[in-house]
Structure 1
Amino acid sequence: MALILTFLGKGGTGRSTIAVAAAKQLAAQGKRVLFAAQDPTPAIDLLLETALTADPQPIAANLQAVKLYSTVLLERSWEELKKLEAQYLRSPFFKAVYGQELGVLPGMDSALALNAIREYENSGSYDVIVYDGSGDSATLRMLGMPEILSWYVRRFRQVFADSDLGKTISPFVQPIASAVLNVNWSSGDIFSQPAAAQVNNLLEEGRSAVADPNRVIAYLVTGTDPGAVATAQYLWGSAQQVGLTIGGVLLNQAQTTETLESTFAPLSMRSIPIKQGDWQPIMSALPDFTQATQAPRPIRIDTAERKVYLFLPGFDKKQVKLTQYGPEVTIEAGDQRRNIFLPQQLSGRPVSGAKFQEGYLIISF
């Protein structure tokens, strides 16, 4: 399995430069690296001194690069969807629509990029994938997509099953499915069929990957500008809401200070020099990305204590909202919302208390 490495921070802080340096550093260590850029402009091409295409191409020893063009990814994904349609439907109806005529709707970019990264990771061709995306909340929503979608499946499956509509049509699902589909449904539960199970497996795989710092890790990039520092703090806290571990802070083109180090404690901070033609000084200043597992984990559940510890740096208790409408607990911080999937020992128990302590929201049941 490949390590997926990305960088978060305010625009203009040098995220792409650091991402390229990281890819070069890891390739120099003998790892098979894919640099995946989502910016369609020529900026990254100039930085790499190579015109990137929609397919991976070698740009150095152990290093390949690709540009994630949304239109190309949409076309390729559409063809895969048509293959699935032909597999499950007796009379496919998407076959008359071609990927070349589809336009990219808002939000598609993130879903397409996430799927492309998943496919490259599953190919077994790479040890590390360095993803150079927008580096902001959009990147976090992209990485949090598997967990969010899995919640929708869990929640609305039960809502549908308990509804009058679900109870009414369930007896008719199997005969209708037999007439329309190429597969035989053994039950009337539309959420437990082969296609649905395949989707659930993909979502669970994505959730597990993002929650594992050995598979997905991010670093904050900032300068000394107060706006850049505040943005990095906000993204740090927001990353915890999608279960993403932040491995450390990279202070670009500036020297570390006690104030900055205390602002991001307990994360480690590295000072990155300005690029002056040679990549080596930046590469040498980068941290050992394999040590990111020592950073604070976003969530810890202690069933013996009946407590959930959620790490939310950068937020205070006035900015955090906790609600419990069903078997899960919802945490809202900033512009991110997370539904915590509780283990069986805590599922269904009401929240008995909550407190904010040293950056942690501690929830008792």
Structure 2
Amino acid sequence: MSPSAEPRVVLVTGKGGVGKTTTAAALAVEAARGGRRTLVMSTDVAHSLGDALGVELRTSSSWEQTMAVEDRLHAQAVGARTSVAADWGTLRDYLLTVLDSIGVDPVVAEEFTALPGADEISALLTLGHHATSGDWDVIVVDCAPTAETLRLLALPEVLGWHLDRLMPVQRRLLTAMRPAAAAAAGLPLPGPEVVDVITMWREHMAEVRTMLTSEHASVRIVLTPENVVIAEARRILTSLSLHGYAVDAVVVNRVIPVDEDPWRAAWNAAQASGLRTITESFHGIPVLTAPYLAGEPTGPDALADLAAQTDSLDGEAPALDAPVPPRGLHVEADGDDFVLVLPLPLARSGDVDLARRADDLVVDVSGVRRVIALPSVLRRCIVKNAGVRSGELRVRFVRDEEVWPRGR
């Protein structure tokens, strides 16, 4: 597909209970009624997307299975059994053979081979399929709560990192060395079909990662003007930036309209303080507000009305047809040195731990970790110093004279 044909992908996340599903559904309805072919899909195991849309939405058994909600709007719920099950069966059969060869009870082996991360893998593979199908102009993803969303979005790079290191070894073992290697290990080695599945997963994950960090994709954080929720939203912004994902808007949900009622006036004052904290915390990112409605918005018409009442508090609401500014890591030359720059809004130097591990840089921000495969130029360098300022982690590298002498 040409870049102009790629759909706009918006991932919607937030702390559980803040109304992210309603926000995602309202955005999808608005996009569809604006003339765009729109798919809204849920990656939340305990999803309520069907309830918000007013339809009975079951977990899809295949990539292609979506439900028509109204003209130009389809919905889909993705789970562990969506599409990836057949491919997982190949790997599962191999693992059962290995466990059987070392005497593990078949019943216990069945439990051991439950696929960790199956929901996330299925969601990413399904999203990748839709993004390259040519069927959609806009894809809105109603993500699980923040912790699960981070695991989902970290998966393409993490799984790719491990598979890149696994595949060369497995391919060597599947050559003439296979019989001897299997005898030496005392275990059955994976057949070509197992390696093919792993290779396919690696390729798809790389494609999804590229798509989600492109100018066609962004994340929107939904929150309410409460201190606990704001604190978690601040953390998710930093964590998303750590992994290279752009946040194009923050949606403050359930803002109580101002009036003279004493009870609501007290809430207005409390929410006004929260709104000030939000605009200060997310400075530079558009902040939108959605009102606290008298009743729960259910069905396309109510969702369209909610979208129409969503207003801008700070900055302009991002247009779906506008490219998303890149906010990923990059490397700058500074004299003879090189500086790796990674946006980390709201982070402080004390929150960040760094470790160099061979050709990788391990960055840990308050317990959230990313393993960054260093560009080739930095592999011949050593870390001189690092620090966080103005919302950026800056790691300075200098030549390793033993492997990259000056003049070469």
TM-score normalised by the shorter chain: which range applies?
A: 0.7 to 0.9
Unaligned runs of 5+ residues in structure 2 are 1-5, 98-109, 183-188, 256-270, 312-316, 398-408
Q: Indicate how the Cα distance of structure 1 residues 181 and 10 shifts in structure 2: closer, same or farther if over 3 A, else same.
A: closer
Which residue of the other structure, out of 367, 377, 389, is the alignment partner of 1:335?
A: 367
Report the Cα offset of residue 107 of structure 1.
2.6
Return the TM-score normalized by structure 2: 0.72
Superposed, which structure 2 residues align to 1:309-328 within 5 Å? 309-328=341-360
Q: 1:338 to 1:3 in 2, by over 3 A?
A: same
Q: Which amino acid aligns with 1:293?
A: V
The structure that has the greater radius of gyration is: 2
How many Å separate the matches in 1 of 2:116 and 2:180?
37
CA contact (8 A) 1:327 1:349 kept: no
Unmatched 5+ stretches in structure 1: 94-100, 185-189
Q: Distance in 2 between matches of 1:203 and 1:355?
A: 31
Q: How high is the sequence identity, in percent, across the aligned residues? A: 22
Q: Is the 8 A contact 2:128 2:207 kept in 1?
A: no
How far apart are residue 33 of structure 1 and its match? 1.0
Q: Distance in 2 between matches of 1:146 and 1:107?
A: 11
Change (3 A) 1:58 1:345: same
Q: 2:320 aligns with which of 289, 295, 311?
A: 289
Match of 2:55 in 1: 50
Alignment-derived partner of residue 261 in structure 1: 279
Pick aligned residue for 1:64 from 51, 74, 79: 74
Cα separation, 1, equivalents of 2:172 and 2:134? 44
Say which of 68, 77, 87 aligns to 2:84: 77
Distance (whole Å) between structure 1 residues aligned to residue 72 and residue 151 of structure 2:
30
CA distance in 2, matches of 1:168, 1:79: 25
**Backbone CA RMSD of aligned residues:** 3.7
Cα deviation for residue 29 of structure 1 reads 1.8
Q: CA deviation at 1:352?
A: 1.0
Question: What is the deviation of 1:58?
Answer: 0.7
**Partners of 1:309 and 1:362 within 8 A in 2:** yes
* 2:118 alignment partner in structure 1: 108
My pick for the range that moved more, 335-344 or 323-332, is: 335-344
Residues 205-261 of structure 1 show CA distances to partners (whole Å, capped at 9, x for unaligned) of 1221222131x3101111110011001000001112222111121111227744321
Shift of the 40–333 alpha-carbon distance from structure 1 to 2, 3 Å rule, reads: closer
Shift of 1:289: 3.5
TM-score by length of 1: 0.79
8 Å contact 1:211–1:243 — kept in the other structure?
A: yes
1:113-136, Cα deviation, whole Å (9 max, x unpaired): 222222222322212221112131
Aligned residue number for residue 246 of structure 1: 247
Alignment counterpart, residue 288 of structure 2, candidates 266, 270, 278: 270
Tell me the SS of whatever aligns to 2:177. Answer: helix
Q: Which residue of 2 aligns with 1:127?
A: 137
Describe the shift of the 1:323–1:283 C-alpha distance in structure 2 as closer, same or farther (beyond 3 A): same
C-alpha distance in structure 1 between counterparts of 2:120 and 2:66, whole Å: 19
Aligned length: 338
- 11-20 vs 251-260, which moves further: 251-260
Kindly provide the CA deviation profile for residues 296-326 of structure 1, in whole angstroms up to 9, marking residues without a partner as x: 6132222466111111123211111011021
8 Å CA contact 2:248–2:285 kept in 1: the answer is yes
CA contact (8 A) 1:147 1:207 kept: yes
